[in-house]
A = this chain, B = another copy of it.
Amino acid sequence: MKLEQATGGEVTRRELLFGAGKCALGAAGFTALASVVPGMVSNAHALGGTTEKWPWPYQKLDPATTAEIAYKEWYRVFCGAAVISAVFGQLREKVGDPYKSFPIDAFIFLEGGTSGWGTICGANAGANIVTNLIIGPRISGTDDGMLMGSEIMQWYSTTALPRYVPKEPKIKADLPQTVSNSPLCHLSVGKWMKAANKELASPERKDRCARLTADVTAQLVTHLNDWKDGKYKTKGIIPAAGYGIQTQHNCTECHGSNVPSPPKAKKT
């Protein structure tokens, strides 16, 4: 779908539901979307890459099989690269290029919210990379890649995780599930560590992140299969719309009751 559609009724309702009662909406409202998504300049850069043709060829994958690969790959390359590897590893075999030429293992650095900084959970980052590489970036004429990535982050933030049960678990443990209310590593891991009373270095915390990585991968492949069948209707949103700033929607969790208002658009 095109982004213009994404500002329509359904998305607006979801967005308001998601953030309802938590934040004062920025006065700039949905018009702020125009600032995040200006008209794309059509001239591609002069030295266009050989893999910059979208969509990339995709063959449907089995979500459960892919999830188990992701679970195992976490122990080799951690969350972000494990998501990419689980999907692209199979597509290297089924399709070949452009998947063979994509340097999956470079994305180990997505671990720990990018090099350990606790920003975006690597599983979310990896999922966004996969959706935008396969479906294509906005400049290629569709917004579904970005919106599918956004939808996964929304699902991640509101779902009790991990729920994946490995076929070959690294440890025998009944792990608690927690809702992150955020796409960030720091909040997602921190809330789980508190609920489980397990430290960062514990085998349980590691296996929790491996299982969560499998969950995100299964969700991703389910969406991609629907998209391949022409059945995918994005529920993704651009969170900046409606808030006047790029943001999560649970403002009070960091800001408390004193949620600042972004500078307002001038009436013209």
Using a CB–CB cutoff of 8 Å, the interface residues on chain A facing chain B are 28, 31-32, 34-36, 38, 40-41, 43-47, 49-52, 54, 73, 75-77, 81, 85, 89, 92-93, 98-109, 111-120, 124-125, 128-129, 132-133, 136-140, 145-147, 149-150, 153, 183-186, 189-190, 193-194, 196-202, 205-206, 236, 238-241, 244-248, 254, 256, 260, 262-266
Contact = CB atoms under 8 A, between A and B. Distances in A.
A115 to B, nearest CB: 4
Contacts of A145: 106, 109
- Stoichiometry, copies per complex: 2
A28 B119 contact: no
Q: Which 8 A-B pairs have the closest CB atoms?
A: A35-B201, A118-B246, A119-B120, A112-B246, A254-B254, A108-B137, A116-B238, A115-B150
A101 B205 contact: no
A105 B52 contact: yes
B199 A246 contact: no
Contact of A265 (B106, B186, B201): B201
Given A52-B105, A136-B106, A117 B153 contact: yes
A245 B189 contact: yes
A223 to B, nearest CB: 14
B263 A199 contact: yes
B246 A100 contact: no
Q: Which of A111, A116, A118, A183 has the most CB of B within 10 A?
A: A116
A31 B201 CA distance: 8
A240 B256 CA distance: 25
A125 to B, nearest CB: 7
A82 to B, nearest CB: 10
B28 A201 contact: yes
Contacts of A236: 115
Contacts of A265: 199, 201
Given A89-B47, A92-B49, A105-B139, A247 B117 contact: yes
28 contacts: A28-B200, A32-B199, A34-B201, A35-B206, A38-B206, A43-B76, A45-B73, A45-B89, A47-B100, A49-B99, A49-B100, A50-B101, A52-B106, A77-B137, A98-B103, A106-B129, A109-B128, A114-B128, A114-B149, A116-B238, A116-B239, A117-B120, A117-B153, A118-B240, A186-B245, A186-B246, A199-B264, A200-B246
